[in-house]
Every structure is written in structure tokens, then in C-alpha cells.
Chains A and B, each alone.
Chain A
């Protein structure tokens, strides 16, 4: 119960939604509700339900490797979407299946995960490794790379905008495969550490690589050194070991209640290794 909430809006257009939001600084957008419902915060006084804006589309062009997912699309509706099967070799669907529990995925949305980014979010490293782009409405339709989500200039922008969806565009050439690794204390737990990784290969050569680490315990980030070092090489056991080592050295991790820094370093190595091995076995 958010006891101070006095108004519940269901706007019919993006413009209307944005105006409502700009009018009241203590108003909150509602996509799935799972995050906000957990807060017993007294702060929200108005809720703006985005359900009527029809932001739940999913457009996929598997041939071209392009994908658009609306912000209010439920996570489980991405996981279970038959059109999406095989996209990036199933990486997105397999990864998103590890988010929360089944009922939480049924209510939670991709947009909500981005607007209220928790450091332990699975959605963000999964999408970071896909080079996803955030689509948002800020009086006009805009887009920006997800990797800039935490940029100082983007956070305020996003706070006063409506995320409308995310876009993914796989490299034109080659085959992209991925693996998402999650370490948590039990199966229904948020990540204590997670790693998203994709590799695009053409004729046995890596043309593009993305690796993102989340729950470090701070927000997810890409490991650009790792990505660069993989380029132009071929996946094999030696490269996997080398890359895992580099990932563990370059991922900026620290300690929290769930894990010490040194253990996170060891886990990054193992998870990077497992991710690359997983991808390699898919290629073979």
C-alpha cells in the first residue's frame, strides 16, 4: 500500500503521460508494478499507468537480426515468444528466463527494469551484451545506447522521459551467439554477480564480442578490454582461459554482504569461462 497516493492516471497518449509526470514531481510511471509495489515509500503521490499506451509490441526480423521490444512487454512474454526463438541463438530468451520467478516475470517489464535499474538487474547485462539501444519519449522520440544508462547526463533525461522500448541490432555479418551466467545464493534470488556475453563469428573468426558484468555489486558495466582482445581471434580453450583471466582482472568488482571482492574476482573468471565455453559449444 502506497498510502500517500491520491491519484491514479491511465493516460491515452505519450504526450499526456509526460505532461502528467511533469506536473507532479512525486509521480511515478507504472509499467509492471513489481518494483514500485515493493517499496513502502511514502514518496509517491501519483501513479501513471502506462498500460494503455500500447507499448508492448515486439517486432523481430530474424533474418536481419533486428529486434524491437516495447517497454511494457512482460518479461515472460519475451521469454515465451515463439517469434523470438533462435534470436542470437536463444541468448535473449534463455537469459531473461533467469530473471526473478515465473510470476514476477509475468508482471515485470523490460522498461521497468531499465527505468528502475537495480545493481543486481539481470536484464541490463543481458541487453548490454546485445548492444541494445533505449528508445524513449522526451517530447520527441529519442534513442540512446543502453551502455550510457548510468551517464551523468542521461539519468536526469531519463527521469523526465518515458522509456518506450529497446532496440537490438545484431551485426550484419556473421553469426551471433551468447551466454548469460548468473550466480545467486539460491535459484530464486537476485544475482550476486552476473555476466552477459555475446560473440559474433564469421568464418571461424570473432568479428565482434560483448561482455558485461553486473551486481559487481554496483551497476552493470561492459568489459571493453575483453571485448577488444577477442576481436579477430578464434574461440578455443586457450583463448577462453586467457579471456576469463583478463575478465577477472579488468572487471571492477568490490565486496558486499553477499561476496568478498576476491571471491567475485574468482567468480568472474569462472563465469566468463563458462559463458565462452557455452558459446563455443554452440558454434561447434
Chain B
């Protein structure tokens, strides 16, 4: 039993997920199963061209087809500039999207949608729509886009675009200290530029949504989403139905990873439901999921490090060029995060310059994706740190330890750079990064690596070890709002209502554990109901690594409130002071002995004597003042086949400080999933395109995510710390695990072969070409 298991009754224990049994039995908890036979289904006609104006759209033939009930296109829907990003209002993303526009901006962009009585009717309807396009020059390259006179968003009614003449959706430029001078005067300077690819989230459940009007003409939307409350607001905005007439319900979500932080189907099912009065379902096919949903921003990031001869950083500059595709959803915030989630890690550097653009192209649309800019930033930063280590003749670990942030320290970046605007001052209260590094190094046998490499007697293969250290955040300070409601039932159980959104991560379980721990009851006494805009209080949603920390704090607060109310009532009843009483393990502890909580609970509703009858309940809100970063150290031991450039990871170790792990199994699961996701990003996953911007591999057959046989031995170590601002000491763990794979693998390949891999994914052929350069 760990120290924390002893410290807590419920938290820190590996309890099975509260929804686990239903999932393990394959019960109808996913939307496609709940709404298995809706009245109507609908599909989308997408653009075959990367850039074009729609001159004419003729739906007359399609309308006459049997089974076709409704057709939507730019000519018959409201034109409301908005963003598809499910972000807090006012969104930091430009309003550059429309339900339908008379212009298409990438292959896969919306042209029209058809609702009909069967998938076949819909398919036939879509095929019967005639569209006349005026093809425009497609801009596929972000660097060229800024210089081009072809404008991707020339429309007058868009807003929030940084510079639409130059196709720049968003721009960031922050400076602390005097970075120019710092680099000019640095004893050692290293420069590293790295480039990342288009990659996809690929939840196994594609996007799915239904809508219908209930008996009172309210619009009921069920959707597999990360952001039910933002869905409600944005649907209201674009469809023109007041928020009070919309209810959004989130069923179980079959994976999301950021791609469901986006309003992609909800506006269309809503419009169809309003126009037909029938229940309508839409779901992406796997191909549509690849082509038309969202991706990760491809970027070029250049880092320059200035340091003294000891390797102590004096200045850092980081420049990012982000490709935001046809629309600017999340363009500013992902770009900001490239710097804000990476640069504070090395707070030893007094001078920092971070700047960059997110640029429109006629490519698929990137959005939120686990890591949210941090993986792109860490690639260049962590590869550069290894270059610095070499330049000053030190161990990569030593150089990192010399420069990384420590407990009770701060970084000026926290204040300068927030979520698309200025950030907030923040001191680090918990950081066990050194311990993460030490434990990870031990497991990977870092100290023995020279001997291991020397004894690796094979001519064809080279062995190498690599490291990357990372931080992330826990929610968006002074922006996110999470609320929770808790009520006591007469059997001593509780209903916990949270707006927070479980995507499969286990957050319902984690939040219930926080409530149970705080109340002093067993987990099975807390019944969670989450993500229903009619019945649960507001929550910004599941993104930015926020749920455990932000929603968790709301839950902790509300549980404290309810516990206090119970103790007050009990004190009245027993004629004691509230301090004489407590609740533990489901029992009310009195000086005279313990009674089951249910005995007190029943009295709150049954009208017994002195006790006031009342519903014991409370609602609590949390707006975080800080975003305490989790920290992690990733280590890779790999071999490179010098004949072919193939990389085989022999062992992967990641040690993470996520504060208290509320449910260690689930925390490990977040890390393991993110690491494998990261390995896929590093080695095999890449959306490929024709020279007209069409994705050429939109299937699992051709877009290769790891399966069981692709994964190496992976060891995750939870290094607990106690975050004083977190619920029971917790921070986040959802995203940080994906930050390390690319740089750690690149650094290990360099250790093995001397070549520096700077473009992901590291396919064998790329590595082979680098190995043969100069031969």
C-alpha cells in the first residue's frame, strides 16, 4: 500500500470505473446504439476541390428522389460567421466558418447535406446534387500562403482574423528580457528547426449526433462531444434557436482526443430536425472522419538556445509557423501553447522571445488535439537541448536539471502568454521532475548506456538512448468554469451532477472518487450524472487537461459544502457542535458511537421531530486561478537498422508527476494511451496528400496507428506530488503523455547514429536517406 493509499480512503485507490460494467457488457451507451433507428439519417456532400467558388448548386433532381426529405446548402441556411471551436465565450478563434458558404476551402469541406429515410436514399440524394464550381488557385503550403495574393478568407463578414490579406489567421509575439542580446552574447548558441506532419486523432467511434424536437418544441441534441455547453451555445448562435430551447445530452463517448471539441455535425442535425420535425442522425464514415473532421496543426518550429559554457540557458527564441488549413479554429490558442506549454519549463533563461503565425491554406482543418501545440514545440526544444548538451560536453540529463523549473519558482512566460491572450502569474507549488528524471533514468539504465552500446555487437544495428522532459497545464486559468451539484438521498447515497464530460478517460469515476473521499463515503454511494445541459450545471468541457483539476475542485467544494450541511443538521439533532461530528466510511461519527449515514439521511426527508425537513444539496463553481503543470520525463531505448533506417523501440519509460493520482490505474492508462499515440505520431502516422490537396490515405488500411504488435515494452511510473491547489493534491495527466515521444525518439536515434531527425514521422526511408547523406 502506497503512502497515499493510506492517506486516503477512496482517492488514490484503483477502483473500477463507474461506467465500466456497462461498457464491458457492450450495453447501449453510445449514441449510434441508443439511436439505432432514427426517422431520418443525413449525410454531407463534400468538396472535391481544395479551393473554389460555388457558382451554382442545383438540388432539383435530388429533391424528387424517393426518401429524400430535406437538403441544406448555402442558399437556404442562415449565414452566421462563427467558429467551430468549442471554446469558452468569447472564443479566441476567428469567426471564419459558416454552416455552408458559397466557397470551399479544402477537399472535404461542406457543400450540401441531405436528410432522408435511409442511408441509401441519402447517398442517392447526395449524388444527384449538381454543383458548378469556379476553381480557384489552391494554396497548399503555409510559407507560400503568406506571400500569395490569393486570399482564402476574403469575405467581409468574417472577424477575428489577424491579417486576412496575408492569410494569417493568428499571430503571437511575446518577449521577456532581452533575447536578442542574450543570444548575441551567449557563449554557446544552438539552432534547431523541426517540422511536423498532418496527423489525425482517430477515435474508434467517429463523430455522431442526433437531434429532434420534443413535445414542447425544444431542440434535443444528443452528441458524442467534449463540450456539451459550447455545443448548446454555438448551435443557438448559428441556427437561431435560443439557448433555453436547446438541450444537449452527451452519451458515452467512444474516444475524442480533441477532435470532438468541435461543432461538426450538431448544427446540421439541428437544422434538419427543425425543418422536418423528425429525429435525424448523422455520423461520419471513417473516411469522412479523416478528411472532413479535424487534424493536428502541422508546424515548423525553430528554436535558438543561448547558454554559457556550463550549459546554463541565457536566452531562448522560438519561432513557429503553423498551418491552420481552411479555417482558423484553435489557430491562435494552439500556436500560443507551442510556447506557453514549453518555454516556462526552462525558466533558467531570463530572456525569451516567442513568435509565430498560424496561416490559412487550402488543406484540411487542424483543431484541438491532445497536447495542443506542446508536442510541436517540444520536438524542436528538446532536440535542441540535446544539441546544447553536446556543445557544452555534458550529459543531456545534467543540462536539463540545470535549467528546468523547480518548486516555488515561476516563469515570466506564465504571465505573458496565456490562452490566446495574456496569461496569469503563477508559481509552481509541486514539481517532482527531478525525481521523474532519476527514476526514469534508472529504469532505462541511462548510466549504463555507454557500456550497453559498446557491447551491442551487431554491425547492422545501432543502439541509442534518448530523453525528453515536458510539462503541460491543468485547465485554463481565469477562463474555465466548472460547476458541480450534489444532493443527498434518503438512503445516504448522493447524486453528483457535473457538467464535466467523460470521454472515456474515466473522469466520471475520478470525480466520484473526489466526492466520496471528501464526503467520507464509499465510491458506490455516489451516483454520477454528467453532461446534460438541462440537468447538470455548467462546465467548459473536457479539454486543456482540465477535468480532474478544475471540475475536480468544483466537486471537492460542493462535497465539502454538503458534508458541512449534514454535520450541522446532525449536530442539531444530537445537540452537539458540528466539530464533535464527522463522516467516515459512510458512517456518521458521534461521540457516542457511529451510525449509518442513512439513518440521518432518512430524517432529512421524513419529517422527524426536531430536524428540519430539507433537501440537502449544494452547487459549487470553480474558476481556477492557476494551471499547475504536471511534469514528465520520457526515456527511449531503441535500435536503428543501419541498412534500412528502421527504428525499433526496445523500451519506453515515462515517469510523470501528476500530483495525487486520484485513480492510479486510470492515470497510468492516460499515460500509456498517450505514449502509444505519440509513438504512432513519431513513426508511422501521416496524412498524405495529392498535389491537389486531396488526402490519399483516408482509412486505417493506409493511415497506420499502432496495434498490439507495434508497441514496445512501456513502463509508466507515477511520481506523486501534493499539489496544494488541486483536489486532494491532484493535477492533470490527460495530455502530457503525448509530448515526449517525438523528441525522445529523435534524441535516441541521434545517440545511436549521429543523425538528427527533424521531420516527423521518422519513416524508415527518411532515416535511411539521412544515414546515407554524405556517404
Which A residues are closer than 8 A to B by beta carbons?
3, 101, 183, 185-190, 257, 259-260, 263, 266-267, 269-270, 273
Minimum C-beta distance from B638 to chain A (A): 16
Chain A CB within 8 A of B763 CB: yes
> Which A residue sits closest to B765, measured CB to CB?
A263
Q: List 27 A-B contacts (CB under 8 A).
A: A3-B120, A101-B707, A183-B644, A183-B764, A185-B704, A185-B763, A186-B684, A186-B704, A186-B706, A186-B707, A187-B708, A187-B709, A188-B704, A188-B707, A189-B704, A190-B701, A257-B688, A257-B696, A257-B697, A263-B764, A263-B765, A263-B768, A266-B643, A266-B644, A266-B768, A270-B644, A273-B643
- The total of Cβ contacts below 8 Å across the A-B interface reads 41
Per DSSP, are chain B's interface residues mostly helix, strand or loop, or mixed? loop
- Would B710 and A187 count as touching, CB distance under 8 A? yes
- Would A259 and B765 count as touching, CB distance under 8 A? yes
Contact indicator per residue, chain B 205-242, by CB within 8 Å of chain A (1) or not (0): 00000000000000000000000000000000000000
Alpha-carbon distance between A127 and B504 when the two chains are bound, in angstroms: 45
- Would B707 and A185 count as touching, CB distance under 8 A? no
Contacts of A188 in B (CB 8 A): 704, 707, 709-710
- Would B765 and A260 count as touching, CB distance under 8 A? yes
Contact indicator per residue, chain B 697-721, by CB within 8 Å of chain A (1) or not (0): 1000100111111100000000000
Which B residues are closer than 8 A to A by beta carbons?
120, 641, 643-644, 684, 688, 696-697, 701, 704-710, 763-765, 768-769
Alpha-carbon distance between A260 and B764 when the two chains are bound, in angstroms: 11
Contacts of B643 in A (CB 8 A): 266, 269-270, 273
Alpha-carbon distance between A41 and B697 when the two chains are bound, in angstroms: 19
Contacts of A183 in B (CB 8 A): 644, 764
- Report if A267-B706 is in contact (Cβ < 8 Å); known contacts: A185-B684, A259-B765: no
Alpha-carbon distance between A229 and B764 when the two chains are bound, in angstroms: 30
Minimum C-beta distance from B23 to chain A (A): 21
Minimum C-beta distance from A243 to chain B (A): 15
Alpha-carbon distance between A163 and B343 when the two chains are bound, in angstroms: 64
Alpha-carbon distance between A183 and B701 when the two chains are bound, in angstroms: 15
Contacts of B765 in A (CB 8 A): 259-260, 263
Question: Could you say which of A186, A259, A266, A267 has the most chain B C-beta atoms within 10 Å of its C-beta?
Answer: A186
> Which B residue sits closest to A188, measured CB to CB?
B707
- Would A186 and B710 count as touching, CB distance under 8 A? yes
Going nearest first, the 8 A-B pairs with the smallest beta carbon separation are: A187-B709, A186-B704, A270-B643, A263-B765, A188-B707, A185-B704, A187-B710, A186-B684
- Would A267 and B644 count as touching, CB distance under 8 A? yes
Minimum C-beta distance from A265 to chain B (A): 11
Contacts of A189 in B (CB 8 A): 704
> Which B residue sits closest to A244, measured CB to CB?
B643
Minimum C-beta distance from A256 to chain B (A): 11
Alpha-carbon distance between A267 and B708 when the two chains are bound, in angstroms: 25
> Which B residue sits closest to A273, measured CB to CB?
B643
Minimum C-beta distance from A67 to chain B (A): 28
Alpha-carbon distance between A270 and B771 when the two chains are bound, in angstroms: 15
> Which A residue sits closest to B123, measured CB to CB?
A3
> Which B residue sits closest to A263, measured CB to CB?
B765
> Which A residue sits closest to B704, measured CB to CB?
A186
Q: A260-B765, A263-B764 are in contact. List 11 more A-B contacts (CB 8 A).
A: A101-B707, A186-B704, A187-B707, A188-B707, A188-B710, A189-B704, A190-B701, A263-B768, A267-B644, A269-B643, A273-B643
> Which B residue sits closest to A260, measured CB to CB?
B765
Contacts of B769 in A (CB 8 A): 263
Alpha-carbon distance between A55 and B112 when the two chains are bound, in angstroms: 49
Alpha-carbon distance between A188 and B703 when the two chains are bound, in angstroms: 11
Alpha-carbon distance between A266 and B771 when the two chains are bound, in angstroms: 13
Contacts of B644 in A (CB 8 A): 183, 266-267, 270
Contacts of B120 in A (CB 8 A): 3
Contacts of A259 in B (CB 8 A): 765
Contacts of B701 in A (CB 8 A): 190
Alpha-carbon distance between A263 and B769 when the two chains are bound, in angstroms: 8
Alpha-carbon distance between A273 and B459 when the two chains are bound, in angstroms: 14
Alpha-carbon distance between A259 and B709 when the two chains are bound, in angstroms: 22
Contacts of B705 in A (CB 8 A): 186
Contacts of B709 in A (CB 8 A): 187-188
Contacts of B710 in A (CB 8 A): 186-188
Minimum C-beta distance from A187 to chain B (A): 4
Minimum C-beta distance from B69 to chain A (A): 20
Alpha-carbon distance between A3 and B643 when the two chains are bound, in angstroms: 48
Minimum C-beta distance from A274 to chain B (A): 9
Contacts of B764 in A (CB 8 A): 183, 263
Minimum C-beta distance from A241 to chain B (A): 12
Minimum C-beta distance from B765 to chain A (A): 5
Contacts of A269 in B (CB 8 A): 643
